Amino acid sequence: MAKKKSKGVSTLSLVLVLVMIVGAALAFTGLFIDWTTTKTGSDLIGASADSKMTLQDWADSNEAAAKLDSEVKYFVVTNLFAWITAAAVAVAAVLFILKLVIRLKLLGTLGGVAGIVAIVCGVLAIVFTVLMGKEYGVDIGMIASSTTMPAIGCYLLAVGGVLGGAAAIGGAVKS
């Protein structure tokens, strides 16, 4: 007896779509909230301060630096990888949904490629954010020290990229 092929959408496919949508939401949210946090302190006077910057704040700093014939090191690649990550997860979700409706395997494969791009770019966004932060860290002993590290936005983007990308790859492999 031959098995009938199901014409409906499987539960696994629905879960994968949901995970991709959540990943895209996390990635896009990360783009617009605190990207880095800077902790500044002085042992000499016993004071400390924290400040946070979004990607837009970094873009404004880079624009101001450009007017002085300078640039914020690693900002351009950080910004590029961040936006590619969010876009790749969204594209993967759309392609997978279209694959479910149109039933064209190529769309699932393209979604899997977008998932790979999302994972790689999400990781690279964190790496370049750390490198960018190291460029702006200051340590002059007891007088003052400053460290810039990734904040919640950077981590949300990476988690969204990896989560959505993995679901997209799973959807491509499943099909």
Question: pTM (2 decimals)?
Answer: 0.86
Residues 74, 71: Cα–Cα separation, whole Å: 9
For residue 7, the model assigns a pLDDT of 66
pLDDT in tens, 131-165: 998 887 666 666 777 888 999 999 999 999 999 99
Higher per-residue confidence, 91 vs 10:
91
Q: Which two tokens stand for residue 106?
A: 């190529």
pLDDT in tens, 76-122: 999 999 999 999 999 999 999 999 999 888 998 999 999 999 999 99
pLDDT in tens, 34-79: 999 988 877 667 767 788 999 999 999 889 888 888 888 899 999 9
Q: Please name every residue paired with 36 in a beta bridge, in sequence order, or none if there are none.
A: 53, 150
